[in-house]
Structure 1
Amino acid sequence: MRIDLHAHSNASDGTDSPAELVAAAVAAGLDVVALTDHDTVAGHAEAAEAVRGTGLTLVPGAELSCHVDGVSMHLLAYLFDLAEPAFAAERDLVRNDRFRRGRAIVERCRELGAPIDWEQVERIAGAGSVGRPHIASALVEAGVVATVSDAFTADWLANGGRADVRKHETDPEVAVRLVRAAGGVPVFAHPGAVKRGRTVSDEVIAALAAAGLGGLEVDHIDHDEPTREHLRGLAEELGLFATGSSDYHGHRKTVRLGEHTTDPAVYEELLAQARGAEPIRG
């Protein structure tokens, strides 16, 4: 059984539509795929329709933007009740602030000499929730950088970079409790991804575990083997499960769907903790 619990569509910063993501998951030989767009569930309905008759199981989710001790981090939320009001309100707050931040980043890029504009970024994002990858794509189109990855440096869009602007991000302990109150299961996404910037301490992860964190995303393209070993040991010590996933973004990143997967026993543990929603079996 092949299970990938972290994938994005063009409802946020992926390049595949939700239906295309489902088709790609089937083509990759997956049995289970989670749709975890940034701070939005806008792709859920299309993905649920597309999964019918495929034999694929869809796990509805989201990836939440959080911030603690000066460090940005992401929290994956699975199988929560979409209608639970407190969590829905927080997702709306974070998602809406992405537009303010996006406009401000574009303006900073222009001040730094990049010939891009907001209309270009909106065109690239389409119906998706605007994020830095869309601005990075605009910088590539304008010939400012060669690749999207090259935009995520201190010169441009990296956390704390010359063009970076802070957005509203939820305190992760608050986010964990909101996910649990909505019947969902929270998992810390790529906690050891040092190439993205500063990471939180083990003590912060322990506090999140005490608040109700369910698991750590261990097998991930941004984790080397020593990091995976450390995180696996930490998860065991804290009573958390360890997931694996691709963090697929379509052609915006080189990682393939199913490049890293979750053990079926871990998936069953995740399902056992979920109270807000059921997987959608095609």
Structure 2
Amino acid sequence: MRIDLHTHSTASDGTDTPAELVRNARAAGLDVVALTDHDSVRGHAEALEALPEGLTLVTGAELSCRIDGVGMHMLAYLFDPDEPEFARERELVRDDRVPRAQGMVTKLQQLGVPIEWSRVAAIAGDASLGRPHIAEALVELGVVETVSDAFTSEWLANDGRAYVDKHELDPFTAIRLVKAAGGVTVFAHPGAAKRGDTVPLTAIAELAAAGLDGIEVDHMDHDASDRARLRAFAAEYGLLVTGSSDYHGSRKTVRLGEYTTHPDVYGEITRRATGAFPVPGAGGRPRA
């Protein structure tokens, strides 16, 4: 059983539509895929409509959080998307994305980059606008070679010259909101140091005490030593260990299912969830 619990579609900053994502997930040999767009559940309906036979969809979102001045992402699975307080907080984060991106474009222009807001907006289209759309514009301009190369201190990383803060959840609040909505929480790529400062293990221990369910260990941004360290930490604090591709379509080189979650861990996530349940595919219908 092959399970990938972290993917993105055009509902945030991926390049596959939700329908394309689930079809591509099945073609890649996955049995279970989670759609976890940034602070958004907008892609779930399309993914469910197109869900192919043989693939189960786990609904979720990747929440933007900040603790002690350090940005972090929290994966939330199988929550009730209509729970009012949680829905309002996600909306606040989403509404901040456009002015934040405009601020980053302004900073880039001040650094001498001939980037235009109109082009960034065109790249994003109807998606929830984020840094990868700006990074793609930088690739087009020849400023960087790849989208990943834009996420450095020189450009868009959390400590980068063109970085702009955004509205983010306190992670303790995020855990409370997700739990109240019947969901399960996993700290995404906690050792991804190349993205900027990371949250210290002491703080993750506090999150574990507050109800954090797990940490994402097997991820493209973790090397072997990161994974060993995080596995040992998870064992010490009783946290679930997940593995995921963090697939963004053509914006990243990682493939669907390149990193996966053990079926026993997936089973425990579904056992803990009460807000929503995994949906098995029944064939789906092609969608333009």
TM-score range, shorter chain: over 0.9
2:2 partner letter? R
Q: What is the match of residue 22 of structure 1?
A: 22
Q: What is the match of residue 11 of structure 1?
A: 11
Using the TM superposition, give the Cα deviation of residue 39 of structure 1 relative to its aligned residue in structure 2, in angstroms: 0.7
Q: Contact (CA 8 Å) 2:103, 2:164: kept in 1 or not?
A: yes
In the aligned structure 2, how far is the partner of 1:160 from the partner of 1:227? 21
2:31 partner letter? D
Using the TM superposition, give the Cα deviation of residue 111 of structure 1 relative to its aligned residue in structure 2, in angstroms: 1.5
2:47 is the alignment partner of 1:50? no
Structure 2 alignment gaps of length 5 or more: 282-288
In the aligned structure 1, how far is the partner of 2:243 from the partner of 2:159? 28
Identity of aligned residues (%): 68
Q: Secondary structure at the match of 1:127?
A: coil
In the aligned structure 1, how far is the partner of 2:139 from the partner of 2:199? 31
1:37 partner letter? D
Using the TM superposition, give the Cα deviation of residue 144 of structure 1 relative to its aligned residue in structure 2, in angstroms: 2.1
5 Å-filtered alignment, 1:256-275, equals 256-275=255-274
Q: What is the match of residue 286 of structure 2?
A: none
In the aligned structure 1, how far is the partner of 2:136 from the partner of 2:30? 29
Q: Secondary structure at the match of 2:249?
A: coil
1:233 partner letter? A
Equivalent pairs, count: 281
Q: What is the match of residue 208 of structure 1?
A: 207
5 Å-filtered alignment, 1:31-46, equals 31-46=31-46
Q: Secondary structure at the match of 1:67?
A: strand
Using the TM superposition, give the Cα deviation of residue 261 of structure 1 relative to its aligned residue in structure 2, in angstroms: 0.4
1:79-119 Cα deviation digits (max 9, x unpaired): 00011011101100111111110111111111212122221
In the aligned structure 2, how far is the partner of 1:215 from the partner of 1:150? 29
Using the TM superposition, give the Cα deviation of residue 146 of structure 1 relative to its aligned residue in structure 2, in angstroms: 2.0
In the aligned structure 2, how far is the partner of 1:121 from the partner of 1:44? 25
Query: Which range moved further: 153-162 or 18-27?
Result: 153-162
1:81 partner letter? D
Q: Secondary structure at the match of 1:33?
A: strand
In the aligned structure 1, how far is the partner of 2:208 from the partner of 2:16? 33
TM-score by length of 2: 0.96
Q: What is the match of residue 93 of structure 1?
A: 92
Structure 1 alignment gaps of length 5 or more: none
Q: Secondary structure at the match of 2:202?
A: helix
Q: What is the match of residue 275 of structure 2?
A: 276
In the aligned structure 1, how far is the partner of 2:149 from the partner of 2:191? 21
Q: Contact (CA 8 Å) 2:152, 2:194: kept in 1 or not?
A: no
TM-score by length of 1: 0.98
In the aligned structure 1, how far is the partner of 2:160 from the partner of 2:75? 25
Q: What is the match of residue 285 of structure 2?
A: none
5 Å-filtered alignment, 1:66-81, equals 66-81=65-80
1:158-211 Cα deviation digits (max 9, x unpaired): 112111110011111111111101100000000111111111111111111111
In the aligned structure 2, how far is the partner of 1:58 from the partner of 1:16? 16
Q: Secondary structure at the match of 2:71?
A: strand
Q: Secondary structure at the match of 1:251?
A: helix
2:231 is the alignment partner of 1:229? no
